Amino acid sequence: QKEVEQDPGPLSVPEGAIVSLNCTYSNSAFQYFMWYRQYSRKGPELLMYTYSSGNKEDGRFTAQVDKSSKYISLFIRDSQPSDSATYLCAMRRINTNAGKSTFGDGTTLTVKP
Amino acid sequence: GAGVSQSPSNKVTEKGKDVELRCDPISGHTALYWYRQSLGQGLEFLIYFQGNSAPDKSGLPSDRFSAERTGGSVSTLTIQRTQQEDSAVYLCASDSRDTQYFGPGTRLTVL
């Protein structure tokens, strides 16, 4: 069983829709949670990171962490065609400010105009 | 430069040949990582450097894979006797505290 499982998608939504992207994890040592966006043939780009349970908002993006359920989500409000990309969740242990991240397999999102 | 750079951007090689992939991290970043991404998959950790030493090599899939880092900066990932299953995008990242910045990757195709 993988340590990080991500809803596989793909997702296709109309412009303006609210998008929910989700990951679950099995290792309670993970304390630092990240969401990356990856455009085709590009490297991943960090969107958001959080240490805490609860919500963290940045513009149209909200990251949600529920440590008791080992579940994280990324919400995108008022989705735009430019949001079309693959979204990767990632996590790592808190006691290393360096050290490997464990990634989900990604969810490909298409936002149709 | 402003970001992590990798070269070459694309590499096509024949089965059995050796290849070298290069990563130039962001200046001043002490931590450097190599990951591999196969088509439609997430990132698979290969190796992590702190300075010139590699405290975590646990992701290297076989002894055909090796990596080094010199001067606390540039890193080279070497794959010997390449196999078709080595075909993937090889991504490098460098770390500033809690944030990993990724390069654009090297797309390796083994024929």
pLDDT at A98 over 70: no
Return the percentage of chain A with pLDDT > 70, whole number.
96
**What is the rounded CA–CA span in Å between residue A34 and residue A6?**
13
CB-count exposure of residue A21 (10 Å: 0-12, 13-18, 19+):
buried
Residue-level pLDDT at A112: 97
Residue for token pair 């990080």: A4
Residue-level pLDDT at B20: 98
Residues 75-94 of chain B with CB under 8 A from chain A are 91, 93
If one compares A1 and B56, the residue with the highest pLDDT of the two is B56
Confirm or reject contact between B63 and chain A (CB < 8 A).
no
DSSP letter assigned to residue B26:
P
Average pLDDT over residues A69-85: 96
Average pLDDT, whole number, for chain B? 92
Paired residues of B75 in beta bridges: B23, B69
Confirm or reject contact between A31 and chain B (CB < 8 A).
no
Cβ–Cβ under 8 Å, residues B94 and B100 = yes
Reference A86, options A50, A53, A42, A52; nearest CA is: A42
The pairing of strands B99-102 and A45-50 is unpaired
Average pLDDT over residues A27-35: 91
Confirm or reject contact between B52 and chain A (CB < 8 A).
no
Confirm or reject contact between B10 and chain A (CB < 8 A).
no
Name which of B40, B48, B103 is nearest A99 (Cβ-Cβ).
B48
Integer-rounded Cα Rg, in Å, for chain B is 13
Q: Over the stretch A38-55, which tens digit does the pLDDT of each residue have?
A: 999 899 999 999 888 899
Residues of B in contact with A99 (CB under 8 A): 31, 48, 56
Distance from CA of A7 to the nearest CA of B (A): 12
